[in-house]
Structure 1
Amino acid sequence: MQLSHTPRAISAVFDDPNLVSAAGLVPIVAVAEQAGLRSLADEHLSVPTDKGANAGLKVASLVAGMVAGADSIDDLGLLRHGGMGKVFERAYAPSTLGSFLRAFTFGHVRQLDAVASRFLTGLADQTHRGHAIIEQVNADLKSSALAHLPSGTFWANAAWLVLAVIAFNLTRAAATLAGDTLSKATTPTIRRTLITVPARIASTARRLILHLPTTWPWDSAWTELFTRVCGPPRPTTT
């Protein structure tokens, strides 16, 4: 492979509000919603003050960021780039999510454990695989959200660990729903093939259309996941 133009003939500018770098979060977030992540967090978490408000949305934001590769609080800014606000609502700023985590105590971590356990049951119901969904967890977590712990606060780090396990299980469930090809793949491979897929967003007749790269090598697996979770994509010429 080589450049088609000389380096001086190539320019780059961050100016497109309709691009996203992780279109795979669309079916992933749908899987999480169907398995009850947001509602479970709203039901079981009692983090006090305004920092604990809308716990379900904050947990969903943290988990989505981890699925897309965030391994620090600052990395969660990836949820707010380009056209993400057109596809997702209420993706909180990293500072807000950090304040939420730092408000956790031992009791709140136990509540989050209960959320994780019930969420895993919901994922098992969707994938029909039972609790055997957890495989190679240590190696995968170390290459993902646990590359380093994000806070100087012990209970915030404990909560981050539980959220990392939730993100791991969600990623594995998505790979299972995408068919046999990726069912035993590592988390980095799943992220590279299903999640961090760029897309351009267009809208028509109250519909959003994700324009994905042509000849994507894993388009069949991505489409299988999307179809099983969101319904078959509608043909479009836009």
Structure 2
Amino acid sequence: MQFKHAPAAVSAVFDDPNLVSAAGLVPMLRLAQHAGVDRLAQARLTVPTDKGSNAGSKVMALVAGMVAGADSIDDMNVLRHGGMGRLFHRAYAPSTLGSFLREFTFGHVRQLDAVSSRVVQNLAGQTPLLRLRDGERVMVDLDDTIIEVHGYQKQGAGFGYSGVRGLNALIATASTSSSAPVILGQRLRQGKTGSPKGAARIVGDALATLRRMSLGNGARPLLRADSAFYGHATIGTAITAGADVSVTVRMDPAVKAAIATIAEDAWEMIEYPNAIRDESTGRWISKAEVAEVPFTAFRSRKKAERIEGRLVVRRIPDLGPTRVEQPTLFDVFRHHAFFTTTAKNAIGTVVADKTHRGHAIIEQVHADLKAGPLAHLPSGVFTANSAWFVLAVIAFNLTRAAGIIADRAGRLAKATTATIRRTLVTVPARLARSARRITLHLPSTWPWEAAFARLFAVTHAPPPSVAT
């Protein structure tokens, strides 16, 4: 692509009061209203009156800014340009929204957690956020990540397991084979916090939210997590809430002893990087093999707290530098094991291993959030950042629902937030008013016109009833 005109023939002037840069906020905020974001926030937030008046409108403004790409308080100015004032009421100044967030206490953040939980439930009632085939399970994934911060005035910042100075963000997501992840629960924690701290509470809240979404096929959800969350509190909470678990275990003496009991002929090759399928037998030729053995977790606890299941083990040859320089007489393997309570007749060994490795999908959600509102934690106040995190989750779930409405069978249903923002939200428009009606004049030949039109039509239909 090249310029059509000489540089001197092109000029730029910011002088049109009827233009908006993000016309997609119109259907997005209609969707947020249908999901009850403003009503729930207004009813449940008890932020002090001098700063917390019109809490519903301020929450809507913050979510709208995040949907439009804001990753700091100053970026909320994206709501205050051109014809935005003719489309929306109360486009607050960034300073007002920053003051509002700084009034949050831990109790107010928990109130906002309740709003987020009900919003995702309402979205699930309006859109097929989680589509299930017959007998399919919902996969609930749990993991944390470090959000790097700089400077010494961020409350709660510290050096955690990654060696990076930051704050610890824990999320629980839900997904299926045909649906991209949505976030069921979240918590911002101090940077030095260990991964399992408070995880049981998040698991209980996430599974309760999932249960209230009434997906209807009756299959038990499956909680997947890495070894940091292998503890009785987290696993016991999940099982009590009616879920199965698939959690990586640490290679402690009990696990090593169990692996040693696996017979050599019990190992089965699996599809793994660089694997080749034997066309004559239909079997995989691979360097990775799996096997399993019955296992009782937490045997050091009293009998009622022990959990029966199976230990699924994947082994690959140990090809480290030491082994290459000093070959051993026998093959040496590295073992990776996870504990699961699923029944073998329901999920076989090979399928269980592949299903467990699917836990990595949660890393995509972390990356998505860090490419958007969590690129920065905008305040020095820990509770303000905690509230910002919850609002980022609400914005994430809204964009996920919008992508499904706009293009249920296409790429937008599983697209990243950045893609949905580029195709459906940051669409320039010129406002024209006639007979008390506003018309958005959008670019002709917009490649995603059909998806935008579908989203606009659905969100401007009469709203369904929502939970309050």
Query: Greater CA deviation, 59-68 or 3-12?
Result: 3-12
Distance 2:45 2:365 in 1: 25
CA drift at 1:49: 2.9
Query: Greater CA deviation, 136-145 or 56-65?
Result: 136-145
One-letter amino acid matched to 1:20? V
| 3-state DSSP of counterpart to 1:26 | helix
CA drift at 1:185: 0.5
Taking CA–CA contacts closer than 8 Å with sequence separation of 6 or more, which of the two structures ends up with the larger relative contact order?
Answer: 1
2:127 maps to 127
| 3-state DSSP of counterpart to 2:438 | strand
2:457 maps to 227
Q: Deviations over 1:32-84 (max 9, x none)?
A: 00110000001110000311000000000000000000000000011010000
CA drift at 1:18: 0.3
Identity of aligned residues (%): 67
Query: Greater CA deviation, 59-68 or 4-13?
Result: 4-13
Distance 1:216 1:43 in 2: 39
2:377 maps to 149
Distance 2:90 2:379 in 1: 23
The answer on whether the counterparts of 2:67 and 2:421 sit within 8 Å (CA) in structure 1 is yes
Q: Is residue 5 of structure 1 aligned with residue 5 of structure 2?
A: yes
Aligned counterpart for 2:403 among listed residues 140, 161, 175: 175
2:75 maps to 75
The answer on whether the counterparts of 2:77 and 2:93 sit within 8 Å (CA) in structure 1 is yes
2:20 maps to 20
Q: Is residue 189 of structure 1 aligned with residue 419 of structure 2?
A: yes
The answer on whether the counterparts of 1:127 and 1:173 sit within 8 Å (CA) in structure 2 is yes
CA drift at 1:129: 2.6
TM-score (norm 1): 0.95
Q: Is residue 215 of structure 1 aligned with residue 445 of structure 2?
A: yes
Distance 2:49 2:425 in 1: 34
One-letter amino acid matched to 1:215? T
Distance 1:168 1:26 in 2: 17
1:160 maps to 388
Distance 1:77 1:140 in 2: 22
| 3-state DSSP of counterpart to 1:104 | coil
Cα RMSD, aligned residues only: 1.1
Distance 1:116 1:69 in 2: 19
The answer on whether the counterparts of 1:67 and 1:167 sit within 8 Å (CA) in structure 2 is yes
One-letter amino acid matched to 2:50? D
Distance 2:4 2:70 in 1: 32
The answer on whether the counterparts of 1:194 and 1:218 sit within 8 Å (CA) in structure 2 is yes
Distance 1:161 1:25 in 2: 20
The answer on whether the counterparts of 1:123 and 1:173 sit within 8 Å (CA) in structure 2 is yes
The answer on whether the counterparts of 2:128 and 2:404 sit within 8 Å (CA) in structure 1 is no
One-letter amino acid matched to 2:451? A
2:114 maps to 114
The answer on whether the counterparts of 1:71 and 1:144 sit within 8 Å (CA) in structure 2 is yes
CA drift at 1:200: 0.2
The answer on whether the counterparts of 2:23 and 2:427 sit within 8 Å (CA) in structure 1 is yes
Gaps spanning 5+ residues in structure 2: where? 131-173, 176-180, 183-361, 462-468
CA drift at 1:19: 0.2
Matches within 5 A, 1:11-90: 11-90=11-90
CA drift at 1:229: 1.1
Distance 2:88 2:128 in 1: 28
TM-score (norm 2): 0.49
Distance 1:25 1:124 in 2: 20
Distance 1:176 1:229 in 2: 12
Q: Deviations over 1:196-233 (max 9, x none)?
A: 000000011110100000010111110110111115xx
Larger-gyration structure (1/2) = 2
One-letter amino acid matched to 2:115? V
Distance 2:448 2:454 in 1: 10
Q: Larger % of helix: which?
A: 1
The answer on whether the counterparts of 2:405 and 2:458 sit within 8 Å (CA) in structure 1 is yes
Distance 2:52 2:431 in 1: 32
1:235 maps to none
One-letter amino acid matched to 2:445? T
Distance 1:37 1:188 in 2: 22
1:236 maps to none
One-letter amino acid matched to 1:152? G
Distance 1:10 1:128 in 2: 47
Gaps spanning 5+ residues in structure 1: where? 232-238
Distance 1:128 1:186 in 2: 17
- The alignment of Structure 1 onto Structure 2 pairs a total of residues equal to 231
One-letter amino acid matched to 2:455? L
The answer on whether the counterparts of 1:137 and 1:168 sit within 8 Å (CA) in structure 2 is no
Distance 1:49 1:187 in 2: 34
Distance 1:21 1:128 in 2: 29
